[in-house]
Amino acid sequence: MFRLIWALSVRTRYLLRRYKPTNILLDAIRIRRGLRWGVPAMVLAIPYLYAASICAQLAENGGPEWLHLLVLLFIWNALKMAWIGPVSVFELLRVRIVMRPNNNRRGHSRAFSSEAAGLHKALSG
């Protein structure tokens, strides 16, 4: 029984990550090339909150009760979009710190390499 529940939850997670538009966008932002789009993606939280507000008003004014589910869905998506901005900024900073070139690891300083480049240019030109 536990195995069946586990398999069902894994399949559900796969379907939601694969086909839900906000999850596709978040996955694209989390890769190295997409990290710079995290802060602009925060703007997408505004339409989601607006749609949640509209659905809440419609549900309160005699609309169908299932609109409350849409309100929850829109608020959840707005929170995901609002959260990806700071997360992507911290991740981008972490990646840039890790990928920062460090010439001291190669055994020579930056001044030495620039002097060598100048000497090479003088000899060849």
Distance between CA 98 and CA 91 in Å, rounded?
Answer: 11
Q: Indicate if the alpha-carbon torsion angle 48, 50, 56, 58 is positive or negative.
A: negative
Q: What is the mean pLDDT of the chain?
A: 84
pLDDT score recorded for residue 112: 47
| pLDDT tens digits, one per residue of 67-114 | 999 999 999 999 999 999 999 999 999 988 888 876 555 555 554 455
Q: Domain residue spans in the chain?
A: 21-101
Whose structure tokens read 């004014």?
Answer: 61
Write out the H or E segment, with its range, that includes residue 85: helix 67-99
